[in-house]
Amino acid sequence: MRVLAINAPAPLARDLQQRACASTEMTLMIAGSSNPLTGDADPQRAQFIQFASRRKVDFTAIGKLRQIIREFKPDIVHSFLPRPLSQTVLATLGMRRAPKIVSFYGITRVPTWRDPADWITYLSPKVAMHACESNAVKNALIQGGVRESKCEVVYNCVETVTGSLTKEELRAKYQIPKNAIVIGTVATMRPVKGMDLLLEALIQCVAIPNWVSILIGPVQDPLVATLANDPRLRGRIHLLGQTDNAATLMHGMDLFVMPSRKEGLCRALLEAMGQGVCPIVSDAGGMKELVRNGVDGVVFPSEDVGALATAIQKLLASPELISRYGQSAIQRVESMCGPQVVGDRVFKMYQRLAA
């Protein structure tokens, strides 16, 4: 089978490359703005082609993609982002031998026929299969009218990211006491991410000494900025803003909190767990599928500030529990979201479609 994967995550692209080069069952082409493949790729089995676009209906990109499909003749085109998905749907219109189209859906928004953008993406009858980031995402597609048989849960994949600084060096850089417990998160801080809930919970924890909080990412919720400046949290909150290497800072944290109101499956959560950071997450979306409450971390009811504060207080009182959950988190994310595990799911999905 011949597979064209557009904007595939780098860890998955490299896993598929290994599978293509190790057997004659698959020939792979990766399309995107940058090459994720390793240098030892056999160009006869796996290759990269430059492809970029500006919007969903980009006639230049659609024409180029149509040419790529005609020349490469893929059996399957897997588009990992909405923009190339719409372009794939439009580029294959009228083709006698059109490839089977696969999407990747990573949010819990229910697609609707009231949105024209959904007509040429997730609700298009030309899409043969939807690879879903979690069961919560799958359920959103089904609720929108997509047949369950067209939805496959594959999750997302991550590789462990390590920075150049040790945990101690990171803490020294941000003037954090060596013995402090660091409560952190990484997100674009919009209301849906619930960072206001985290700050309200931290206000309930100010009587407990020896903790600080690091919040990484742009603040787009005015309430977060207001709460972060609450006098009761003075000296406890570090707002680092937009950071290009956020994943490399996570190993400086002890607790990773994601209090989202809605969530497909937060990638930052996967990266934090992969580095052994103990997670505290709301039960929104797919996070409760990854984090087993009382095994890999703590899951609390979404919007429940009291429950979040109680979870933080419990873990602040037990460094041993933080360490145990962190070690379990590493094994959990590897068993569900490691590149080989996700690669197996995706490859088997391709095999079924090709058959």
Say if residue 136 is in the same domain as residue 188: no
Expressed as residue numbers, the domain containing 18 is: 2-157+338-354
Examine the domain organization and report whether 249 and 103 are in the same domain. no
- Residue 193, pLDDT score: 97
Same domain, 175 and 303: yes
Angle value at C-alpha 345, between 343 and 351, nearest 5 degrees: 100
Do residue 88 and residue 127 come from a single domain? yes
Residue 9 within any structural domain of the chain: yes
Alpha-carbon distance 240 to 247, whole Å?
Answer: 13
The yes-or-no verdict on residue 29 having pLDDT over 80 is yes
- Are 199 and 214 in contact, with CB atoms under 8 Å apart? no
Q: Are residues 57 and 38 in the same domain?
A: yes
Query: Quick count: other Cβ atoms within 10 Å of Cβ 307?
Result: 18
Asked if residue 312 is part of any domain, the answer here is yes
The pLDDT of residue 274 is: 94
**Beta strands 255-258; 181-186: pairing state:** parallel
- Closest Cα to residue 89, out of 130, 120, 117? 120
Gap between the Cα atoms of 30 and 14, Å rounded? 10
Q: Is 207 helix (H, G, I), strand (E, B) or coil?
A: coil
* Structure tokens that stand for 306 in this block: 């009291």
Spatial separation of the C-alpha atoms in residues 30 and 204, rounded to whole Å: 49
Indicate the pTM of the whole model.
Answer: 0.92
Contacts 24+ apart (CB under 8 A), 97-100: 97/73, 98/126, 99/4, 99/69, 99/74, 99/75, 100/75, 100/76, 100/128, 100/129, 100/353, 100/354
Q: What is the mean pLDDT of residues 52-70?
A: 92
- Tell me, what's the pLDDT at 338? 94
Residue-wise pLDDT for 303-346, tens only, equals 999 999 999 999 999 999 999 999 999 999 999 999 999 999 99
Which CATH number characterizes residue 48's domain? 3.40.50.2000
- Identify the bridge partners of residue 311 per DSSP, sorted by sequence position: none
3-state DSSP helix/strand/coil % of the chain, to nearest 5: 40, 20, 40
Is 162 within a domain? no
Count of structural domains, the chain: 2
Q: Encode pLDDT of 189-204 as tens digits.
A: 999 999 999 999 999 9
Domain co-membership, 325 together with 346: no
The answer, yes or no, to whether residue 49 has pLDDT greater than 80, is yes
In a domain? residue 269? yes
User: Is 202:213 a contact under the CB 8 Å cutoff?
Assistant: yes
Co-location of 245 and 298 in the same domain: yes
Please check whether residues 304 and 324 belong to one and the same domain.
yes
The DSSP call for residue 19 is H
> Tens digits of per-residue pLDDT, 265-287?
999 999 999 999 999 999 999 99
In a domain, 93, yes or no: yes
Q: Is residue 87 part of a domain?
A: yes
How many percent of the chain have pLDDT more than 90? 84
Residue 172 lies in a domain: yes
**pLDDT above 90: residue 246:** no
Whether 271 and 132 map to the same domain: the answer is: no
Give yes or no: residues 172 and 289 share one domain: yes
Same domain, 195 and 310: yes
- Tell me, yes or no, whether 88 lies in a domain: yes
- Please say if the pLDDT value at position 163 is more than 80: no
pLDDT tens digits for range 167-186: 888 888 888 888 899 999 99
pLDDT value at 23 more than 90: no
Residue 260 and residue 308: Cα distance in Å, rounded? 12
- Calculate the alpha carbon distances from 143 to 103, 110, 218 in Å: 17, 6, 32
55 and 92 belong to one structural domain = yes
Confidence tier at 162 by pLDDT (50, 70, 90): confident
Longest distance between any two alpha carbons in the chain, whole Å? 69
Per-residue pLDDT for 165 more than 80? no
Helices vs. strands in the chain: H and E counts, helices first: 13, 13
Q: Where are the alpha helices (DSSP H) in the chain?
A: 10-22, 59-72, 82-91, 116-119, 135-143, 167-173, 195-203, 222-228, 267-274, 287-290, 305-316, 319-337, 339-354
